[in-house]
Amino acid sequence: MEAPDGTMASSTIMWLDEANRTAEFEPVGTHPDYRRLGLARAMLLHGMHLARAAGATQMTVACLGAPGHPQARGLYYSVGFRNFTRDAPLIKTRTERPVGQGK
């Protein structure tokens, strides 16, 4: 979404997986100057409507969801998303050596 002055106010990408009849929104973002105006909500609802018309029966959103992002989590819950899964970060615990380069 573009603000009247041409600034990018809010954006999202929606991926449609026709084989699994699923749509995913990722990333979803709103410029700090345009938050709390309903822009992200409007984009999500419009996208879900388009996805449903294209045959999607399920929607997902990739969300940080951490305690430091309660506004994002609240937005997604407000349009009907529910917690489905949580990803654990991958952490490299030691330096790997390339194959064939010693012990």
Instruction: Output the tens digit of pLDDT for each of the chain's 103 residues.
Output: 888 898 899 999 999 999 999 999 988 999 999 999 999 999 999 999 999 999 999 999 887 656 667 888 889 999 999 887 766 666 667 766 666 666 5
pLDDT of res. 9:
95
Each as own residue / partner, the long-range contacts of residues 67-72 (CB below 8 Å, 24 or more positions apart, any chain) are 71/35, 72/28
pLDDT of res. 73:
85
Tokens encoding 19:
């084989």
